[in-house]
C-alpha cells in the first residue's frame, strides 16, 4: 500500500532540489529580479544545477537521500520502511549540516535548501513514528522533532557560540584556569555585606532581587486574578486594563516615571519635604527602586498566567467541600489554593527569570546595586570589552535559572491538578473567605491606583515642553514623531517615527501567532506526552528566557552573521529572535492551564477515532483560551517593546520602535521618546482588546446566578 504522506514529502524535497534556488538570494526570493538570471547564474541556481554545472557535487547526496524513502515504500515489512525513512532523513539532515559548516565559500542556505531540510525532517519523524516513538502517532512525532530542531538551531546553537567564549582566551585557545578564576571571583560571590557596609557579590544581589520580585509579582498576580474572577468588583474591566498596562511599556519608561515620582526632585519627595520636613535622598536608586520598577513591569506576566488557572478550578470540588461542612476558609486553603499550585509555581518562575534577565530597569535605577544583566552589558560594550567575562556571568545566571526550575518541579511533585474533565459542570464558585477577599482588595486596588498614577505621569510627559522642567502644554513632540500631511498627491507620513512604527507592527504581527503556536504546542508535548530527554527538552525551552537579551542579541550575531545560516540585517532574524525569546511564557502558561485538563478528554477523543491534531484543535485548544490569550498578548507586546536583544539586530531597513526611542533618549529628547511610548501604549491597548475579543473566553458550562421566582408553586 502506498504511503501518501511519505510520497508527498519525498516529492516536495525532490522538487525543491530540482527547481528552487539552493542558496539565499540577496534581494530575497519573493522579488522577481532573480528570475531573469535563473537557472544559469550560480547565485540563483537550484541544487541540481549547482552540482552538475557549477561543480558543487557535495550537494547531490541531499537530493538522493530525499528520494530514498520512495524506494522504501516497496519494503514488505513496516520495520524496513521505518528504517529507510529514519536513515534517509537522519543522514540527509546530518549531511546538509556538515557540508554547510565544513565547506567554506558557500553563501547562506536559501529557500531550496530550507524546503529540502523540511522534507528530510518530516521523513525522519515519520520513520521515528513507525518505530513506535510517540506511541506511533505521526503528528506527535513530527511535533517533537520540529520543535526540538528549532530549539537546537535557534536557542542552543547561538547560546553555545557565545558561552564557548567563557573557556577560551583571546587567541581562541582553551583557558580553563582563566574561566575558574573569573567564575569564583569575590566580585561575583563575595559576602562582605553580611559583615560590613561593602556590597555583596553581583550573583547574590541578583538572586535576592529575583526572589523578592518573583514572590511579589506572584502575590500581586494572584490578588488581581481573584478580584477579576471571584468577586463582584464593579470595575473589573478597568482593573484588568490597569493590570496589563505595564507589560505594554518599554521598561526604562517605567524607571523614568519612578524617578520623577520618588527621585530627589520627584513629586512625592518634594511633597514629603514640604509637608513633613523629610529631607530628599537617593533611596530610590538601588534595590528598592529596581524592585519597585520590576514588580510594576512583571506583575502582568503573573496575572496572565494565574487568571486562567484560577478560572479553571472546578466549582463542583469546592461545593463538595462545603457540602461536607467545610467552611469558606477551609475550602479555600485545602481545595482551591492547592489546585492553583501549577499557576503559582509557573508565575514565580517567570517573575524570577524576568528579574534576572531584566536590563532596562536596572540600567536606570540600580545605582551601586550591581546585578548580572548590567555587569554583562558593560563587560561587552564597556571599556573592558571582555566577552569571556560576559559569558562567565551568563553561566552564573543560567545556574540560578536552572536551580529555580528544579525547585519548581520538586514543589509541584507528581500530584494531579486536573479539574477540567469531561463531566458536566454547572456549579458556581463559592464566595471567597472574608479575609481573603479583603486581602485581595487591599493588595490589588492600591496597586492599580499606583499603576494609574505612573501612567498618567507618562502621558503627561508627552504633552509638555520638557518633562520635569517646563510644563507648558505642547503638541510638538507628537507632531515631530507622527506628523501627517494631506496633499493633492495623497497622504504623506512626515513624522520621523513612522518608519520604525510600521516596521515594528509588521514584525510583531508576524512573530506573535508563531510564538503562541510554538509555545502551546511545546506545552502540549511536555504535559501530554512522555519521551526520552523530556526534562532536558523542557529546560531547553526556558534557556532563551534565562539569558539576558544582550547576550541573545550578540549570540544571534555570532551564529547567523556567516553561512550556512546567514540572517543578519533581515527582518527574519528579528522575528526568530522574538519567537524564541518569548516562547517560554506560552510554554509555562500552557503547562499551567493544561495541568488542569483531565487526560480522559484526550483519550475519549482518540478512542472515538479522532487524530491528535483534531483532538488538539477541537478539544484542548478551546479549553486553553486563557493560555492562548496570555501567549498572544505577551508575545505581541514584548515584540513591540523589546530593547536589549534587538539593539544588536536592527538595521537601516528594519529599525524597531524601541531602538528609535533609545536613540531619542541618548540625545536627550525625552519628550519625543515619551510621546512615542504613549502612542505605543494606546495602540497596544487596542490590540490586546482585539486579541481577547477574537480568542474569546473559555466556557466550562457553568450556570450564571439567577433569581428563582416562587410564584405559582403550590404550598
Which residue from 459, 226, 465, 499 is spatially nearest to 336, judged by alpha carbons? 226
HSE toward the beta carbon, residue 554, CA cutoff 13 A: 22
Which residue from 636, 651, 681, 648 is spatially nearest to 505, judged by alpha carbons? 636
Q: Cα angle vertex 533, ends 531, 534, to 5°?
A: 60
**Lowest mean pLDDT: which of 18-22, 303-307, 572-576?**
303-307
Give me 620's grid cell.
484542548
Residues 62, 78 contacting (CB under 8 angstroms): no
| Distance between CA atoms of residues 432 and 47, nearest Å | 66
Main-chain phi, psi angles of 280, to 5 degrees: -65, 145
Inter-CA distances, 111 with 19, 23, 44, 51, 54, Å:
10, 7, 10, 17, 19
What residues contact 374, with CB distance under 8 A and at least 6 apart? 359, 362, 363, 366
pLDDT category of residue 383 using cuts at 50, 70 and 90 = low
pLDDT value of residue 1: 52
| Distance between CA atoms of residues 504 and 494, nearest Å | 18
- Tens of pLDDT, residues 639-682: 888 877 787 788 878 888 888 887 887 777 778 888 898 898 88
pLDDT value of residue 71: 64
pLDDT category of residue 700 using cuts at 50, 70 and 90 = low
pLDDT value of residue 710: 40
**Lowest mean pLDDT: which of 109-118, 300-309, 316-325, 578-587?**
316-325
Q: What are all long-range contacts of 94-100, with beta carbons under 8 Å and residues at least 24 apart? A: 95/61, 95/62, 95/65, 96/62, 96/120, 97/564, 99/58, 99/59, 100/563, 100/564, 100/565
Residues 651, 569 contacting (CB under 8 angstroms): yes
The whole-number average pLDDT for the span 624-642 is 84
- Tens of pLDDT, residues 313-351: 777 777 777 777 777 788 888 877 888 888 888 889 889
Higher pLDDT, 82 or 212: 212
- Tens of pLDDT, residues 212-259: 999 999 999 999 999 888 888 887 778 777 777 777 777 667 877 888
The helix (H) or strand (E) run that includes residue 466 is strand 464-466
pLDDT value of residue 216: 95
Max alpha carbon distance in the chain (Å)?
98
| Distance between CA atoms of residues 198 and 137, nearest Å | 59
| Distance between CA atoms of residues 218 and 355, nearest Å | 13
How many helices (H) does the chain have, and how many strands (E)? 33, 4
**Lowest mean pLDDT: which of 46-55, 278-287, 464-473, 631-640?**
464-473
Q: What are all long-range contacts of 509-513, with beta carbons under 8 Å and residues at least 24 apart? A: 509/636, 510/575, 511/574, 511/575, 511/578, 511/579, 511/582, 511/635, 511/636, 511/639, 512/632, 512/635, 512/636, 512/639, 513/632
Indicate the average pLDDT of the chain: 83
For the chain, the domains span 1-131
Main-chain phi, psi angles of 94, to 5 degrees: -65, -40
| Distance between CA atoms of residues 638 and 349, nearest Å | 18
Instruction: List the alpha helices (DSSP H) in 105-163.
Output: 111-130, 138-151, 157-163
pLDDT value of residue 137: 86
| Distance between CA atoms of residues 301 and 347, nearest Å | 7
Which residue from 574, 586, 559, 589 is spatially nearest to 643, judged by alpha carbons? 574
pLDDT surpassing 70 at residue 2: no
pTM of this prediction? 0.79
DSSP β-bridge partners for residue 23: 109
pLDDT value of residue 310: 84
pLDDT category of residue 511 using cuts at 50, 70 and 90 = very high
DSSP structure string for 378-440: HHHHSSS--HHHHHHHHHHHHHHHHHHHHHHHHHHTT-----B-SS-----PPPPPHHHHHHH
Amino acid at each position: 500500500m502506498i504511503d501518501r504522506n511519505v510520497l508527498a514529502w519525498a516529492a516536495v524535497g525532490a522538487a525543491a532540489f530540482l527547481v528552487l534556488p539552493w542558496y539565499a538570494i540577496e534581494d530575497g526570493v519573493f522579488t522577481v529580479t532573480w528570475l531573469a538570471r535563473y537557472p544559469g547564474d550560480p547565485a540563483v541556481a537550484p541544487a541540481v544545477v549547482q552540482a552538475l554545472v557549477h561543480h558543487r557535487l557535495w550537494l547531490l547526496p541531499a537530493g538522493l537521500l530525499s528520494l530514498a524513502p520512495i524506494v522504501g515504500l516497496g519494503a514488505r515489512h513496516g520495520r524496513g520502511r521505518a528504517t529507510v525513512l529514519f536513515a534517509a532523513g537522519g543522514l540527509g539532515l546530518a549531511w546538509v549540516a556538515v557540508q554547510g559548516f565544513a565547506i567554506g565559500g558557500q553563501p547562506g542556505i536559501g529557500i531550496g535548501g530550507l524546503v529540502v531540510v523540511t522534507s528530510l525532517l518530516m521523513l525522519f519523524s515519520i520513520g521515528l513514528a513507525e518505530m513506535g516513538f510517540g506511541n506511533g502517532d505521526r503528528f506527535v512525532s513530527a511535533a517533537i522533532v520540529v520543535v526540538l530542531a528549532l530549539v537546537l538551531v535557534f536557542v542552543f546553537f547561538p547560546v553555545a557560540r557565545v558561552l564557548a567564549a567563557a573557556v577560551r582566551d583571546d587567541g581562541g585557545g582553551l583557558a580553563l584556569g582563566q574561566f575558574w578564576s573569573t567564575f569564583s571571583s569575590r566580585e561575583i560571590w563575595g559576602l562582605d555585606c553580611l559583615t560590613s557596609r561593602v556590597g555583596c557579590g553581583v550573583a547574590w544581589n541578583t538572586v535576592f532581587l529575583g526572589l523578592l520580585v518573583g514572590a511579589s509579582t506572584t502575590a500581586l498576580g494572584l490578588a488581581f486574578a481573584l478580584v477579576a474572577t471571584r468577586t463582584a468588583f464593579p470595575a473589573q474591566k478597568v482593573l484588568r486594563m490597569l493590570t496589563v498596562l505595564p507589560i505594554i511599556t518599554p521598561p526604562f519608561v517605567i524607571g523614568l516615571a519612578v524617578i520623577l515620582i520618588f527621585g530627589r526632585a520627584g513629586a512625592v519627595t518634594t511633597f514629603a519635604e514640604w509637608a513633613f520636613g523629610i529631607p530628599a535622598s537617593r533611596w530610590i536608586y538601588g534595590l528598592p527602586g529596581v524592585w519597585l520598577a520590576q514588580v510594576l513591569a512583571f506583575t502582568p506576566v503573573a496575572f496572565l498566567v494565574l487568571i486562567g488557572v484560577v478560572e479553571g478550578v472546578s466549582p463542583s470540588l469546592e461545593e463538595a467541600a462545603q457540602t461536607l461542612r467545610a467552611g469558606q476558609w477551609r475550602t479555600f486553603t485545602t481545595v482551591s489554593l492547592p489546585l492553583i499550585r501549577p499557576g503559582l509555581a509557573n508565575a514565580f518562575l517567570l517573575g524570577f527569570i524576568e528579574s534576572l534577565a531584566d536590563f532596562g530597569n536596572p540600567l536606570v535605577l540600580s545605582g551601586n546595586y550591581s546585578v548580572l544583566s548590567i555587569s554583562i552589558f558593560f563587560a561587552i560594550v564597556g571599556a573592558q570589552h571582555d566577552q569571556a567575562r560576559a559569558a562567565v556571568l551568563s553561566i552564573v545566571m543560567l545556574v540560578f535559572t536552572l536551580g529555580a526550575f528544579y525547585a519548581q518541579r520538586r514543589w509541584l511533585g507528581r500530584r494531579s491538578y486536573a479539574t477540567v474533565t469531561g463531566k458536566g459542570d454547572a456549579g458556581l464558585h463559592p464566595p471567597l473567605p472574608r479575609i481573603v477577599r479583603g486581602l485581595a482588595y487591599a493588595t490589588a486596588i492600591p496597586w492599580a491606583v499606583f499603576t494609574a498614577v505612573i501612567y498618567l505621569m507618562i502621558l503627561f510627559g508627552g504633552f509638555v515642553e520638557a518633562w520635569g522642567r517646563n510644563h507648558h502644554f505642547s503638541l510638538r513632540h507628537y507632531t515631530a514623531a507622527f506628523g501627517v500631511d494631506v496633499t493633492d498627491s495623497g497622504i504623506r507620513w512626515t513624522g520621523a517615527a513612522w518608519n520604525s512604527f510600521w516596521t515594528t507592527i509588521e514584525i510583531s504581527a508576524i512573530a506573535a501567532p508563531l510564538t503562541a503556536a510554538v509555545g502551546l504546542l511545546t506545552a502540549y508535548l511536555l504535559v501530554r506526552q512522555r519521551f526520552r530527554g523530556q526534562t532536558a527538552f523542557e529546560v531547553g525551552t526556558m534557556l532563551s528566557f534565562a539569558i539576558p537579551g544582550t547576550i541573545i542579541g550578540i549570540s544571534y550575531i555570532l551564529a547567523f552573521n556567516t553561512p550556512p545560516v546567514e540572517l543578519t540585517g533581515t527582518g527574519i532574524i528579528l522575528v526568530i529572535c522574538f519567537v524564541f525569546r518569548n516562547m517560554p511564557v506560552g510554554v509555562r502558561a500552557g503547562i499551567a492551564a493544561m495541568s488542569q485538563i483531565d487526560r480522559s478528554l484526550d483519550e475519549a477523543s482518540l478512542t472515538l477515532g479522532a487524530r491528535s491534531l483534531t483532538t488538539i484543535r477541537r478539544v484542548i485548544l478551546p479549553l486553553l483560551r486563557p493560555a492562548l490569550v496570555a501567549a498572544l498578548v505577551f508575545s505581541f507586546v514584548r515584540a513591540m517593546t523589546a530593547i536589549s536583544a534587538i539593539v544588536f539586530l536592527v538595521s537601516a531597513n528594519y529599525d524597531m520602535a524601541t531602538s528609535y526611542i533609545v536613540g531619542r533618549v541618548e540625545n536627550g529628547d525625552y519628550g519625543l521618546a515619551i510621546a512615542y511610548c504613549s502612542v505605543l501604549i494606546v495602540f497596544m491597548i487596542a490590540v490586546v482588546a482585539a486579541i481577547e475579543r477574537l480568542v474569546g473566553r473559555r466556557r466550562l458550562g457553568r450556570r450564571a446566578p439567577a433569581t428563582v421566582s416562587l410564584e405559582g408553586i403550590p404550598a
